[in-house]
Amino acid sequence: MTIDNSGNNSGGSSSGVCDIGGNDVNTSEPVIADIPRHQMKNPRNFTPIQLAKKDKELKEMQRVYPKTSPAWLEMVWDFVETKGEEAIKDIIDNKRFEVPPTKCRDVKGGVIKDAVSVERKTEEELQFTFSQ
């Protein structure tokens, strides 16, 4: 099917409906139904209503906090949705966020190796480094 300068059809399909490549839609081959389609991840098993609410509220949060990472905004939304308003008010009222961390993070210098172990300098090496 071709279209002349005046916009009239000059042959081809009687319907005049074409895809982007100019092929007649009615005579083109059907879309392959066996191709797997993208499935949205839902690790927290939110309902479709919660997911729609999440999309809407994340867009609003991104508008209000444009310099904040979208991943952080999503993490905050997920936390609020799973914990609930009462639990968050309890955390704030009892100042649980002001408690020192319980994990021991006593790393006093050194070089991190393999993201697991720390190679520390001996006391003599530390004294020598600080005295210079």
Query: Which residue has tokens 């191709």?
Result: 35
Mean pLDDT calculated for residue range 84-112:
78
Condensed to tens digits (0 to 9), the pLDDT of residues 9-59 reads 554 444 556 556 555 556 555 567 778 888 888 888 999 999 999 999 999
Instruction: Considering only residues 95 and 120, tell me which one the structure prediction assigns the higher pLDDT.
Output: 95
- Supply the DSSP string of 16-83, one letter for each residue: --B-TTS-BTTTSPPPPTTSPPP----TT---HHHHHHHHHHHHHHHHH-TTS-HHHHHHHHHHHHHH
Nearest-angstrom CA–CA distance, 20 and 66: 36
Q: Can you give the length of the chain in residues?
A: 132
pLDDT of 90 over the 90 cut: yes
Give domain limits for the chain: 1-37, 48-98
CB-CB contact of 122 with 129 (8 Å): no
pLDDT of residue 27: 57
pLDDT at 13: 45
As a whole number, the mean pLDDT across the chain is 75
User: What is the spatial distance between Cα 45 and Cα 78, in angstroms, rounded to a whole number?
Assistant: 11
pLDDT band of residue 100 (cuts 50, 70, 90) is confident
Residue-level pLDDT at 30: 58
